[in-house]
Each structure stands twice: as C-alpha cells, then as structure tokens.
Amino acid sequence: MDHNNLTKVFKNAVSLYLLLISCLFILTGCSEKQVMLPFDISSSETAFTFETSNENNTVEPFAANLAVPDGDKEAGDELPSGSDSYGSAILVDTAGSNFLYSRNALAVLYPASMTKILTAIVALKNSSPDAVLTADESCVFTEGDVQKIGLKPGDSMTLDQALHLLLIYSANDVAQLIAVNIGGSTEGFADMMNEEAKRLGATNSHFVNPHGLQDENHYTTAYDMYLLFNEAIKSDEIEQIIGTVNYSTVFRHSDGSEASFSCDNTNRFLKGSAVAPMNINVVGGKTGTTLAAGGCLVMLSKDSGGNDYISCVMKGSTIDTTYDKTASMLSLIN
C-alpha cells in the first residue's frame, strides 16, 4: 500500500473514532456519569470493571455463604401426621453452609411470633437503640389470650427496651409500638419487612404485621426463617437479647409516672424445662404459637467447638413436639 492510500485509511479510522465518541456523548447526555472508556475486565480504569471476590476473578454469588436445600434429609422415625407431627423442620451448620437435617424446608406455613425476628432486624436497620417510641391507640391490645405488657396511648420506652420485651417476652403490643414509630403504620412497617425479606432471599414469605398474630396473608417457610435468623444473629444486640433468661425494665406513662415490668424468656431450653443434648449450648431463639401456626421455634445453638447451628421447627402439633423435635435434631451434631 502506497503512502497516499495509507494516509487515507488512517484519516478514515480517525474520523470513525471521532464519530463513535460523538455518539457516546449524545447518548449519555450531560449527566455526571459518562462512559469515557471502553469495557475492559482486566483494567481498573474502565467504567465497567467488576468487583471480584477472589484471585480467579469470579463474582461471589448471593448464596455463597448460605445453605441451600436440595431435598429432604431425614433421620429416624418421621411422623407426617398425628399427635406428634410437625409441618417442617431444618438444622443448618452455618460454618459449613450445609443441612444436617431437612424436612419440608420450603413448605409455606404460618410463623406466629417468629415474625418478631424480622421485626427486630428492620427496627435496628432503620432506627437506633436509644430512640424513644411512643404508643398510640393501635398499641392497645385488649384480647385476653394475646401476649402483651398492657401498653396505653402515650406510654413510651426506648427501642432497646422494646426489643428486649419483643424477643424475650414476645409482647405483641410492643411489636405494634415498634411498627408505628418506625414504619408510620402497620402497613408501612409491613412493606419494610417484605422489602428486607426479599433482600435476604426469603422469597417464599409475605408479612402483613410486626407480631405474627394470625392472618392468612402472613406466611413463611422454615428455609426463609433460616435466612432471616441468620441475618438477625449478625447483630450482637439481637444475639445478646435472645439469650437473656430474665428481664426487668421501667417505662413511662403519658403523665410521666413510671411503670415496671419483669418477664422470663419464653424459650424452654433457656428456662431449663427442655434439655439440649450433651455438649450443645443453646444460645437462644424465638418461639411462636397460635392455633393455626402450631408450635414454632427458630434457634441458635453452638457445639463444644463454638460452631453455630440454626434450627427451625414449624407447625408442631404441640409445644412438646416442637421442643422434642428440636432436641432430636440437635443430637445429630457430631
């Protein structure tokens, strides 16, 4: 190729390059974020460089550190119906990210007060422990069979106090107190709960209230409860609270007078009326019981080496069945 032709080719290439740059400028407009460099996965200077997780330049998947069920793993005699039956049960080794036991992990069931684990997650994510919460009319629960501390309009306490009463005593009126102060309403807080559940991968769940009182549109699975609980125990405050056996506090009425309240943890393993296998330390968890949900329990336990295990039993035909099944699963740990 002679000099004139080479010059002509070069000029055409430059013209094409300038045309491409002009098109990029027109498409991206005058916004602050402009594409200035072409994609190059090996360069740290391009606009599209991937953040990689290891030396092999692979993007870490969402479930990299989570256990994923691949079918039921049963041990011993299973009772699908009758007086000692349960709806679903799982035991997860969190360090190894694997299931030691699984039955109906993806069955959609009612969570009852296990709901309050998600309530606590959303509360701490969107407020601070020293924030003062004030009760309104919606926080007054008059039903005799509903767990409550008897809040009245104008009563106030900190979020830290509320979380203790929520997770230790399972107070439904305190759950409502948290919801209306942080979410503005029951519905507003439920939207926050559902958004957080989806973020954590709990896609087979839907929540309509902060306490878990029966509603057919309020449901989850044992696997989703594992995902939510696994997130909850990342909080030192939540892990400390769920392991507290007794709690006493003082909150204020609207007139400034004080009201005291003392309670015991609803978890039988912590109270000593249920016994875990030898060398297994039950840290704590969250109970839940309604007529429709049956007996429910999600829990954190540790082996003698300090390794974490999350268990969950849903829809136990009786409370005794729920605790017996939990203890039976914990016996599978080493």
Active site residues: 113, 116, 170
- Give Cα 251 to chain centroid, integer Å: 28
| DSSP-derived secondary structure letter, 60 | P
List of residues 6+ apart from 198 with CB closer than 8 A: none
What are the backbone dihedrals phi and psi of residue 223, each rounded to the nearest 5 degrees, phi first?
Answer: -65, -40
To 10 degrees, the CA torsion angle through 222, 225, 230, 232?
Answer: -160
Question: Both tokens of residue 114?
Answer: 């296990």
Other C-beta atoms lying within 10 Å of the C-beta of residue 166: 26
List of residues 6+ apart from 193 with CB closer than 8 A: 118, 119, 122, 207, 210
Question: Both tokens of residue 95?
Answer: 């360090």
Q: Are strands 258-264 and 88-93 parallel, antiparallel or unpaired?
A: unpaired
Nearest to 164 by CA among 114, 116, 208, 207: 116
What are the backbone dihedrals phi and psi of residue 288, each rounded to the nearest 5 degrees, phi first?
Answer: -165, 135
